[in-house]
Structure 1
Amino acid sequence: MTRELRVFSTIAVQSVLEELAPRFEIANGIRLEVTWNTAPVLVKRLQGGETADVLILNRAGIDTMTREGRVLAHSEVTLASSATAIAIKAGAARPDISTPEALKRTLLAARAISYTDPAAGGASGIYFAKLLERLGIAEAVNAKTRFPPPAGLSGDFLLTGEADLAVQQIPELLQVPGIEIVGPLPGDLHMVTVFVAGIEAQTPQRGAAAALIDFLRTDTARDVFRAKGLDP
């Protein structure tokens, strides 16, 4: 009988894991049951009593779970990191985001933008909301902002014409065909998120969980991480 391994994973690595999962499953005779969401939502679900065998979260999420005794000691492994970036619909005029001041002008000039709702807990959304406050344009920009649904993709609004600019982490932007990444946030506004895997402390499948994490550190996996916009 095929074993099942339950994984709680942030959506930032969804494109990577979806490509690698079939290879791991065939090689190990283990089926992955993956729950996707933002790291803070997954942390809340774990705190509410849900369980998983493997956790793939941002650094803050893993640190929280470690403090609460939910991550097996010494099982944490850094998988990759990604930057938050700006995207446009393919073929649209490329805006100037070369400096913080240029980005500010571009955001104010845009008809509408989309970024992850900070209330949903996504790292890029929380950071970008604070960035708007820092630039002194939060009220003006948020008045013309469209938030994707929880665990959704801001780039989808570029395709429908509901936004001119989309802000999210690079691997999430790359999941939307028909859009182009202009570049990461400039200068001292640059923001990188680190993603970490760990074994849930109470899982009865420590061996299988360790096998998955080891697989995600192979050269083959690293190549996929790079292709999907992450830096392993």
Structure 2
Amino acid sequence: MNTVRNRFGTALLALALLSGVIVLPRTAAAEERLLIFAAASLKNALDGVAAAYEGETGQRVIVSYAGSSALARQIEQGAPADIFISADLDWMKWLGERGLIDQQSETALLGNRLVLIAPAGSGAAVTIAPGFDLLALLADGRLAVANTDAVPAGRYARAALEALGVWHSVSGKLAQAENVRAALALVSTGEAPLGIVYKTDANADTNVRILDTFPEAAHPPIVYPAAILSGSENPGAAALMEFLRGDTARAIFEAEGFEVLAKQGG
């Protein structure tokens, strides 16, 4: 794995030399900032948490957002992040199996709910129940979802639709996006009449409204695990992890609609 990380660093250095910019070595750069790789659905809340941490400590925090699957693969390829927050347990486990996280630091940080949304001005109405007629509600439109093979929000959506017996009727009418925020945007801009996203995403966008919430029993529990990466060289990573479990972060997460699972010091 050191070979992969060294190749990643060499490529960055070569790019810097070509552009006339000198990049600090990883060990020096680690003193200056903390880098979090986080699921796209965390953006509003985690931006607030990062700002609060910087305000309290003076330590700069950079957050890179994308689908959990894309971030996990970047970490495997040597991306020098300090902390990873996934939108499901599977991608954290995937990294753990490759020795890429400090497993003692791993914590179940947050919970969320899955909702069906429509544009704010839509007159659509539905109650989610086994066998509900989602196909008729879509009419000629498509259902916006995150990628159902790789992205946690998409996999939760597929699991819920399968459990409710409607997957096969709508599987050919999906508009699949690279992450849940991209799926949200399809509905927010009116490109799709319906979408399945997290409750927190819907709450963050006034251009959409929630039609109904999926039963929790219809899909695996939505858990956001967080862990320090084994390749992190920043001694401040542990303090930031503790802050993520603390009262200040809790208040921000809860204000955005997340359920806080982690306890301070746990």
Distance 2:68 2:40 in 1: 8
By relative contact order (CA 8 Å, sep 6+), the higher-ranking structure is 1
Alignment-derived partner of residue 59 in structure 1? 89
Secondary structure in 1 aligned to 2:222?
A: strand
Distance 1:201 1:161 in 2: 42
Are 1:99 and 1:187, in contact at CA under 8 Å, matched by a contact in 2?
no
Alignment-derived partner of residue 105 in structure 1? 133
Alignment-derived partner of residue 210 in structure 2? 181
Alignment-derived partner of residue 170 in structure 2? 141
Distance verdict in 2 for CA 1:30–1:86, change over 3 Å: same
Q: What's the C-alpha RMSD, in Å, of the aligned pairs?
A: 2.4
Q: Confirm whether residue 44 of structure 1 aligns to residue 73 of structure 2.
A: yes
Alignment-derived partner of residue 238 in structure 2? 210
For structure 1, the residue ranges without an aligned partner over 5 or more in a row are: none
Distance verdict in 2 for CA 1:106–1:165, change over 3 Å: same
Q: Which amino acid aligns with 2:85?
A: I
Secondary structure in 2 aligned to 1:192?
A: coil
Q: Confirm whether residue 118 of structure 1 aligns to residue 143 of structure 2.
A: no
Percentage identity across paired residues of the two chains: 24
Q: Confirm whether residue 193 of structure 1 aligns to residue 222 of structure 2.
A: yes
Alignment-derived partner of residue 32 in structure 1? 61
Are 1:36 and 1:151, in contact at CA under 8 Å, matched by a contact in 2?
no
Q: Which amino acid aligns with 1:221?
A: A
Q: How does 1:158-173 map to 2 (within 5 A)?
A: 158-173=187-202
Higher-Rg structure is 2
Are 2:145 and 2:195, in contact at CA under 8 Å, matched by a contact in 1?
yes
Alignment-derived partner of residue 229 in structure 1? 257
Distance verdict in 2 for CA 1:204–1:149, change over 3 Å: closer
Alignment-derived partner of residue 7 in structure 1? 36
Distance 2:94 2:120 in 1: 39
Are 1:108 and 1:137, in contact at CA under 8 Å, matched by a contact in 2?
no
Counterpart selection for 2:102 from 42, 65, 72: 72
Distance 2:90 2:198 in 1: 16
Distance 1:161 1:151 in 2: 16
Distance verdict in 2 for CA 1:118–1:65, change over 3 Å: same
Are 1:3 and 1:29, in contact at CA under 8 Å, matched by a contact in 2?
no
Deviations 1:25-65 (A, max 9, x none): 12212111221111111111111222211111132222222
Q: Which amino acid aligns with 2:240?
A: L
Deviation at 1:187, TM superposition (A): 6.6
Higher share in strand: 1
Deviation at 1:158, TM superposition (A): 2.5
Distance 1:181 1:77 in 2: 30
Distance verdict in 2 for CA 1:3–1:39, change over 3 Å: same
Q: How many residues align?
A: 228
Deviations 1:68-102 (A, max 9, x none): 2111241112211112111122243352224222x
- TM-score of the superposed pair, with normalisation by structure 1: 0.86
Distance 1:35 1:106 in 2: 34
Q: Which runs of 4+ in 1 moved over 6 A?
A: none
Distance 2:234 2:81 in 1: 10
Distance 1:63 1:140 in 2: 32
Deviation at 1:162, TM superposition (A): 2.2
